[in-house]
Structure 1
Amino acid sequence: MLDDASAPTVIARLERLLSQADLPPSVRAQAEDLRSRLSGGVRIFVLGPKNVGKSQICGAMLGQFEAQSQTAGSAGVCFTHSLHEGAAPLEDLHIQSLSVPLLESIALVDMETPDDADAFAHSVARAIAVADIVLWCTETFGPDETELWKNAPDYLKDHSFLVLTKADIPAAKGLLSERIGALQTIASEEFHSFFPTSTHHIRSMLNDGIDINGEALAASGVKALCEAVSRLAASGRHADLDRALLLLERHGVEDQTAALAAEKSHVKDQTPSKLNSYEGALDLIVAATPALTPARAGPDLADHVLRACSTLVEDLVELAAEQTQCDEAFETWRNDLYDASDKVVLMSLENDMRSAADAATVVLQIKHDLQDRIAC
């Protein structure tokens, strides 16, 4: 796979391929599709029933709730980066360009939810026909939603997320654990992953002109969702780059494979070894230990420990994500970290002493595993 920095070079080579007058129609179609995908970003659609908080999820991900708007009659809003010139994935979307880092590699589409059930079904069908990733936002994922989602192809299901919105509401009623348990069962069969979220405090902070820090974003569940989306989008973008290079090499368009490979090799040469990554992760845990074990108890002890655990695990995930040279054992460890991050996010939503103790236990397990790996 190639780094995203190679995308402009690949797009330019695709343009040269498409300029050939005698290009076979099937090859032209492939080249045009790849050019569009690499120019416009990975297509992520936010779907779900009316009033479940889809736009709030988009606003929290973008950090700009005031950006939510669309013209009358449009099928939804397509948020793109100002660097992108590719067309929207559906022709009747209202396009908004924002200079948001998340949008540098994706196009985020907040689909309108029609009041009519048949119109909603048609809207979902249109979206899943062109989406690379779907964020299905829900409060219950009832039978009607199940019926609509069953039509999604297996590939899309394996690259989509079930998002519980407004998690603060069932949490206040003592129903969050039950709700999460039910949706996790569904997600394990129908989606790539499951994320509970609560954007109420994020929106209040933004409306009050308060900058959103990492702790607040992590506590909302949106940070973990954004990171998972970014990882999956990066994987899809790399796959598109590889497909484009194969197409270009097959048709002999200015073969720059050696130069691109050298660029890739240079990136790898700058990557720390697996052992250094393990030791660096252990150093992070050791440095965070005082925050995980405060000297004095207090009414905010659970919140303190959960925030410290959440921040630490997110730092560990970021460290592991930077590693590109890895074997099966390292990949297993990295995936375990992703799972641990998801667990700590769930525990943070509960915000009680039992959850704090469970989160600290997760961190302790990571520490012991690292010590065993370094010793091997």
Structure 2
Amino acid sequence: MTAQATLSQLKALSRVDGLSRRAADRIARLIDRLEAPVRVGVFGLPGAGKAAIVNALAGAEILRPGAQSVPVLLRRATEPAARLTLAGGETATVPLDLPFVAPPGVLFADIAVSHPALERMSVLNVAAEAAPRDMMAAMAWAAQRCDIALWCTRAWDAAERRIWEAGPDALKHHALLVATAGEEVLDRARAGGSFQGYETCVVPADGRADAPCPAQVETLRRRLADMIDTARAADLDVAAFLLEQHAPDVPLPAMEARPELVSERARPEPAAIATPSPSVHAALSRMVWQMRHAARDLARGLPRHGLTEDDATRVLARLQASFDALLDLADADDAFADAFPALHAELINAQELVQLLKIEGQPRQATEGLMLLSQMRREVCHALAA
């Protein structure tokens, strides 16, 4: 089924009477995600080359490098325009002059252009002062407004690493380190053990600070396209589960008798648990795939001899993202908890445990988290084979 066909079926499903509020809300959020372009946030310290990267992604000089002091959202629209949020909170729509420079008194700019490169994505240029407090505030604000994070860097020194690592975990689920000063920056990142498990890309300047090398720009675009495809595939997987569970052409069975309440002391026997549906088995298969790839990615970034506290922080952040994704898969299908109530409870407990381990954040907790991932993979494989 194509993405457009899936979206059409989701819209039809959203109009069906009798959906639970939870299912209706989830379907509505999924429709919004599938209809909107993937949101890309471009981060980095002042002077890191963010505007040049934004221009490279858009395929045109939209922002003037070195002159960006406020956040700018770049999106596609038929009529070019700039919608400005002013210091007093009011907004004003003005004609768009390119390359764009925000006038005094502007806090945020929403720029609409007709460039085809923005058909699949919007791009948010996150501007802030270099002070860690200012950077952290900007990252927290932008984390709610982007799905993929590009961190542009010319140095990747210890101070910059601390800012990134202290930022919201939501930014790190789909992150790309963009080295705008050459390969040696990535060598430094690898040597320091930072950004392990994340995508990396080199986009150095081609003679001018505001003109990235065209060949490397194309590499960046391909890498970003792959990340967008991955994000879309995950949404389509969830959509498939929802359509399987709530398909409008499948009539609900008539209830023959009023169900009895089941207390903690009167659990149903295993034989009374519903037979797993194909969608539940598909969810289990997807979980195994996700855990296998999560374990592989984590293994690539682990040192051979012992974990440091920085290693533990990164491992626990990735583990939390993995367990969040597993629980999302389980919750996408209401039949999952009916078919495998014990496994569903274990997934909830595992997610909560990883959150607690992350708070402590030491190497010992990271090791426990890795063991928990291995244990959960065995449990899911056992359920899949049942």
TM-score with structure 2 setting the length: 0.49
* Larger helix proportion of the pair: 1
The amino acid across from 1:43 in the alignment is R
For residue 250 of structure 1, the aligned residue among 237, 245, 250 is 245
Per-residue CA shift, 1:177-216, capped at 9, x if unaligned?
4x4421233576445222222245578779xxxxxxxxx6
- Shift, 1:76, TM fit: 2.0
Which residue does 2:203 correspond to in 1?
Answer: 197
**One-letter amino acid of the counterpart of residue 18, structure 1:** S
Question: 1:29 and 2:25 equivalent?
Answer: yes
C-alpha displacement of 1:51: 1.9
Partners of 1:68 and 1:123 lie apart in 2 by: 19
* Structure 2 letter corresponding to 1:193: E
Q: Which amino acid counterpart does residue 81 of structure 1 have in structure 2?
A: R
The correspondence of residues 227-376 of structure 1 with structure 2, limited to 5 A, is: 227-253=222-248
Question: How big is the alpha-carbon RMSD for the aligned residues of Structure 1 and Structure 2?
Answer: 3.9
Q: Indicate the percent of aligned positions where both proteins have the same amino acid.
A: 25
Deviation at 1:231, TM superposition (A): 0.9
Q: Which of 38, 41, 62 is equivalent to 2:37?
A: 41
Change (3 A) 1:254 1:192: farther
CA gap 1:130/1:61 in 2 versus in 1, 3 angstroms: closer
Q: Distance in 2 between matches of 1:22 and 1:202?
A: 60
Q: What letter corresponds to residue 202 of structure 2 in structure 1? A: P
Correspondent of 1:81 among 71, 76, 80: 76
Q: Which has the higher contact order (CA 8 A, sep 6+)?
A: 1
Say whether residues 1:217 and 2:214 are aligned partners.
yes
Shift of 1:136: 0.3
CA displacement at 1:249 relative to structure 2: 2.3
Is the 1:166–1:200 Cα contact (8 Å) retained in structure 2? no
The answer (yes or no) to whether the contact 1:48–1:137 under 8 Å persists in 2 is yes
Residue 175 of structure 2: aligned partner? 160
- Secondary structure, in 3 states, of the residue corresponding to 1:244? helix
Determine the C-alpha separation between the residues in 2 that align with 1:74 and 1:20. 47
Instruction: Determine the C-alpha separation between the residues in 1 that align with 2:108 and 2:193.
Output: 28
- The answer to whether the aligner puts 1:53 opposite 2:49 as a matched pair is yes
Question: What CA distance in whole angstroms lies between the structure 2 residues aligned with 1:189 and 1:122?
Answer: 21
8 Å Cα contact 1:158-1:190 kept in structure 2:
no
> Where does residue 332 of structure 2 map in the other structure?
none
* SS of residue in 2 equivalent to 1:131: coil
Partner of 1:45, secondary structure, is strand
Aligned-pair CA distance for 1:251 = 1.2
Does 1:181 find its partner at 2:187?
A: yes
Contact 1:60–1:202, Cα closer than 8 Å, also in 2: no
SS of 1:97's partner is strand
Distance 1:14 1:203, change over 3 A: farther
2:150 to 95, 110, 135: 135
Question: Given the superposition, is the C-alpha separation of residues 165 and 74 from structure 1 closer, same or farther in structure 2, using an over 3 Å criterion?
Answer: closer
How far off is 1:110 after superposition? 1.2
Name the CA distance, whole Å, in 2 between partners of 1:204 and 1:116: 24
Answer whether contact 1:79 1:96 (CA < 8 A) is retained.
yes
Query: Per-residue displacement from partner, 1:1-21 (whole Å, max 9, x unpaired)?
Result: x6xxx3333333333333346
Q: Gaps (5+ residues) in structure 2?
A: 79-90, 92-106, 251-386
List gaps (5 residues or longer) in structure 1: 84-90, 168-175, 207-215, 256-376
Contact 1:124 1:148 (8 Å CA) reproduced: no
**AA partner of residue 30 (structure 1):** R
Q: CA deviation at 1:237?
A: 0.7
Q: TM-score, normalised by structure 1?
A: 0.51
**2:127 maps to which of 99, 109, 112:** 112
- 1:247 is paired with a residue whose SS is helix
